[in-house]
A and B are shown apart, each in its own frame.
Chain A
Amino acid sequence: MLAIALLFLGGAGVSAQTPEDVNQGKKLYLGHCSPCHGQTGTGGRGPNLAQPRLKHGASEEAIADVIKNGIAGTEMPGAWQLSDREAALMAAYVRSLGRVERADLPGDAVAGRRVFERSGCGQCHIVNGEGVAMGPELTEIGVRRNAEYTREAIVHPGAAVPESYLYVEITTAAGRTVSGQRVNEDSFTIQIRDSTGRYHSFRKQEMKEVCKFAGRSAMPSYQGRLGEAELDNLVAYLASLRGEP
């Protein structure tokens, strides 16, 4: 009887969390994790946790293990003083940071895939190994971004361009102009990738000007180019891309 009860409890785990559990997990996270991983988990001294897949935490159990025991050879300490339940609540919260759960959406994902192919999205995005890597890979975009965000990104691509896709235009001392995505920048050099995928490296001393277009995306807006139903379908297709076979 005891074994069964334990099994039951184990099975329930933290997947059946109450709002109070979620709150408790968040509190524990803010107290123990946020000094290194940031208030929203986007990282700081410690790595970004707001991403769907964590290097050392493939599952909630694995994350709880890391919280309790740390990661050898890194700065991640173990928190041996936490109870298993506390570690589990924290793990659930950490896992929720960068994961979008499945949602019921109005569109049809199968039809959305056809919209994706017809609209040439693969000319700039890779899904499951197919396509061209100009823009972000979309293989697991459904876990990373919710439907509203995805829809906005299709209609207004410039609304939220990640800094890793910053569009820059460089004028060299000789007057040549090169534009593209910034790949790297430091105090002395900058590397960019142009629209053909070619990399360019410049020393800042050799440049006349660097223009950074924080709100500009290399992606064209699909506003007006897709009907409402097509857009719904495309969003549903992207939401279905969760990096799972």
Chain B
Amino acid sequence: MRFVTLLLAVALQAQVTFERIRDSEQAQGNWLTYSGNYAGHRHSPLKELTPANVASLKPAWIYQFETGENEVSPLVVDGVMYVTAPNFAAALDVRTGRALWTWNRPVPKDLKTLGFGRVNRGAAILGDTIFVGTLDAYLVALDARSGAVRWQAQVADYRTGHCITAAPLALRDKVIVGISGGEAGIRGFVDAYDAKTGKRAWRHWTVPAPGEPGSETWSGDAWKTGGAPTWVTGAYDPELDLVFWGTGNPGPDWNGDVRPGDNLYSCSLLAIEAATGKRRWHFQFTPHDTHDWDAVQVPMLIETTVRGRLRKVVATPNRNAFYYLLDRASGEFLLAAPFAKQTWAKGMDARGRPIVLPDTEPSEGGTLVWPSLQGATNWFSPSYDAASNQVFVSVREMGAYYHKGEAAYKPGTLFTAGGERALRGDKAFGAIRALDAGSGKQKWEFRLHSPPWAGVLSTAGGLVFGGSGEGNFYALDAMTGKPLWDFQTGNGIACNPISYLVDGKQYVAIAAGHVLIAFRR
């Protein structure tokens, strides 16, 4: 009888309902969606680790992947951690890191990842099903208890440079997924799939076809290879039932001559109705981008006072070096403040359109502009602490000579038309910056030796965790930026930390190269 009760308890626990994810602040100890909550905060409500005791943090266990470049942000559900790598997923025991099951999907021999690394940034969970995207552009549903495949949906054809690296976002009865391929001349989209069947519920094209709204910002056939990929997980507002998803660069990246116009909806934030896939509003951060400044940072849905008025907004530090606030319901531009060195815009007009400085376009000989094409920040997550109303962001301080090349589209090959020569080494550096969420004003900075590829996690205990390009995993005081603890992982870190509870103890986990390390006091 006791055995039956136990089994039942486990079965119930393994059900991750939409409500559980929505109310994740109350589900202390778990990490149920990519950013920890639908609002994209990557902030843990856990308080055990504090500035006073974090110095005693040490590794509890290490999990080794077979592949060496891991960017996963794990999920933690009722004693099980779900991790992913390219075409791979595993369930791990949170106490020991031992694998409970693994799943593999062969990578096609002729697969090319055009313009980015072979990575996977994580899974989504809904009910008792795990959802993971693959390099060959499938969305796969796995039984959370065994790793058995429930369904596989082909999202796109990998042979044209389409690829999935982002973690899906599961909500209500759907799984939302974005696509990579902005350097391969794809036409971008955001897709929704029925969580039970894998049937496509809607597709939202991020580049309009002739006649559709926004098509006037393209000419000729340029829209067909217009890019605007959607390769980083978005956020979701259950009240508005809106999905917020960023889009990447127009194609080709660095030669805009072949695509005159603003090139909507590239380098934009889209507010999409979860039920229908219809666009409610859009905001384009970088019209007619020629610097590869994808707007693919995780948008943060926050409530803050902007110029004296409390508002529900979307906050996002953009790759183009400006921190933006937009009204969440309407997309109205509220604020843009630089959070890193930038030499391309004089400022913004009243509607948030950048006033672009002359001589900042890529050229044959190279044009020096800050930030570099990797941006002032990139796909790695920012975090938001509502208690102190601070946004924490990993910043890349790096300039680059932008080169313009010739553009010729050939399916399944790079369609970039140029590149950059970045100012590397001691000419560049990185930082973690704390911004006042309502104004974008910097409150503190922790300087990093080089521009980072790791996101941040803030915690209710008053800490900010981050990773460095030289392998340091570290904790800062969230109020001052003072370094409190660091650990050398042995490989440059390119992922986002998470935090969760095991047996009442707070853990923090980070992947670095081949390994995932779980730390506790």
Contact = CB atoms under 8 A, between A and B. Distances in A.
A186 B406 contact: no
Contacts of B418: 30
A216 to B, nearest CB: 14
A36 B114 CA distance: 10
B357 to A, nearest CB: 23
A77 B419 contact: no
B448 A187 contact: yes
Given A38-B419, A187-B468, A78 B110 contact: yes
Contacts of A205: 483
Interface centre among A40, A45, A77 (most CB of B within 10 A): A77
Contact of A186 (B69, B421, B470): B470
A47 interface: no
A77 B421 contact: no
Interface in A11-41: 27, 30-32, 34-36, 38-40
A188 interface: yes
A219 interface: no
B472 interface: yes
A188 B483 contact: yes
A35 B112 contact: no
B113 A77 contact: yes
A124 interface: no
B413 A187 contact: no
Contact of B426 (A30, A75, A77, A212): A212
A215 interface: no
Interface in B381-421: 401, 403, 405-406, 408, 410, 412-414, 416-421
B419 A39 contact: yes
Given A35-B183, A188-B486, A78 B112 contact: yes
A196 interface: no
Given A34-B419, A39-B403, A187 B112 contact: no
Interface in B107-136: 110-118
Given A27-B406, A166-B426, A187 B474 contact: yes
Nearest to B366: A39
B449 interface: yes
B37 to A, nearest CB: 29
A214 B413 contact: no
B147 interface: no
A43 B510 CA distance: 27
Given A31-B405, A35-B115, A35-B183, A79 B449 contact: no
Nearest to B487: A188
B66 to A, nearest CB: 10
B140 to A, nearest CB: 22
Contacts of B422: 38, 44
Contact of A45 (B117, B421, B470): B117
Nearest to B403: A39
B461 interface: no
Contacts of B488: 186, 189
Contact of B449 (A40, A42, A45, A186): A186
A56 to B, nearest CB: 16
B447 interface: yes
Contact of B413 (A81, A184, A185): A81
B214 interface: no
B406 A187 contact: no
A199 to B, nearest CB: 16
A112 to B, nearest CB: 32
A214 B426 contact: yes
Interface string A64-80: 00000010000101111
Interface of A: 27, 30-32, 34-36, 38-40, 42, 44-45, 70, 75, 77-81, 163, 166, 184-189, 205, 212, 214
20 contacts: A31-B417, A32-B414, A34-B405, A35-B183, A35-B416, A35-B419, A39-B366, A39-B419, A39-B420, A40-B421, A75-B117, A77-B111, A77-B113, A78-B110, A186-B449, A186-B471, A186-B488, A187-B468, A187-B472, A214-B426
Please provide the 5 A-B residue pairs with the shortest distance between their CB atoms, ordered closest to farther.
A77-B112, A186-B470, A34-B419, A163-B425, A187-B449
Given A27-B406, A31-B414, A187-B474, 17 more contacts: A27-B405, A30-B419, A34-B419, A35-B183, A35-B419, A39-B419, A45-B116, A45-B117, A75-B118, A78-B112, A79-B413, A80-B110, A81-B410, A166-B426, A185-B449, A186-B488, A188-B472
